[in-house]
Amino acid sequence: MRVIMLGPPGSGKGTQGERIASRYGVPHISSGELFRDEVTRQTETGKTLQRYLDAGDLVPDDLVLSLVMDRVIAAQAEGGWVLDGFPRTVPQAEAAAKAAADVGMSAQAVVYLEVPPEVLADRLADRGEGRADDSAQVARHRLEVFTEYTRPLLDYYTKRGILVRIDASPPVDAVSEAIFAVLDRIDG
């Protein structure tokens, strides 16, 4: 199973991505976790990433691609992957699609988690107590960045015929079941 998770901050990409990975026995690759690991280890890359993460800005495409694509290619040997937080822009998606095609591993589905703005605001406020990138101001900025840069991916993946829209406002288990109902048909 090869799945890309899309959705605004607070939509549940990480939770649902982990559940999908567990169900289909593939690695869950979270760009956010990769970034936070680099920051925690205080690598040179981590120091660069920190500036973008603190501001809630998108990390430049070349830096994202260098961190994520090697993990994606390695995960193919394990039967696929669930990408969480990547790609975030159409240029990233195009570069990833080319790299994936070169090794015969294009995405089977892009799961877009739709959540009303007021639900997102509540979720980010609840989550913001433990994460610097979810303070109220940074969370608002992340939503603006999502709208400007990531939302165009919906058209891109719709044209490719692999976008699946899921209402992510119900309880977590109900969202998972809705996702599995679609992915089971693709995987079967």
Residue 43 confidence (pLDDT) above 80: yes
Q: Which two tokens stand for residue 25?
A: 């026995």
Percent of the chain with pLDDT over 90: 52
| pLDDT of res. 146 | 77
Average pLDDT, the chain: 88
Which letter, b or e, does each residue of 64-78 get, where b requires 16 or more Cβ atoms within 10 Å of its Cβ? bbebbbebbeebbee
- Report the distance separating Cα 117 and Cα 119, nearest Å: 5
Tell me the pLDDT band of 132, cut-offs 50, 70 and 90.
low
Confidence label for 134 from pLDDT (cuts 50, 70 and 90): low
pTM higher than 0.75, yes or no?
A: yes
Confidence grade of residue 56 (pLDDT, cut at 50, 70, 90) = confident
Sign, Cα dihedral of 158, 150, 25, 179: negative
- Which residue blocks in the chain are alpha helix, DSSP H? 13-24, 31-40, 44-55, 61-76, 90-102, 117-127, 136-145, 152-160, 172-187
- Hey, which residues are catalytic here? 13, 88, 127, 131, 142
**Which of 74, 79, 118 lies closest to 1, judged by CA?**
79
Q: Which domains does the chain have, with CATH numbers?
A: 2-187 (3.40.50.300)
> In terms of DSSP bridges, do strands 2-6 and 109-114 run parallel, antiparallel, or are they unpaired?
parallel
**Cα–Cα separations (whole angstroms), residue 83 to 3, 16, 21, 51:** 6, 11, 9, 23
Q: What is the pLDDT of residues 165-188, one digit of tens each?
A: 999 999 999 999 999 999 999 976
CA distance 46 to 147: 26
Section 142-155 average pLDDT: 82
Residue 108 has pLDDT above 90, yes or no: yes
Per residue in 65-106, pLDDT (tens digit) is: 888 888 888 888 888 999 998 898 899 999 888 888 887 788
Half-sphere exposure of 158 (CA within 13 A, CB side): 7
Confidence of residue 53 (pLDDT cuts 50, 70, 90): confident
Contact 64/35 with Cβ under 8 angstroms? no
Q: Which of 128, 158, 123, 170 is nearest to 6 (CA)?
A: 158
- The whole-number pLDDT of residue 84 equals 93
**pLDDT score for 88:** 85
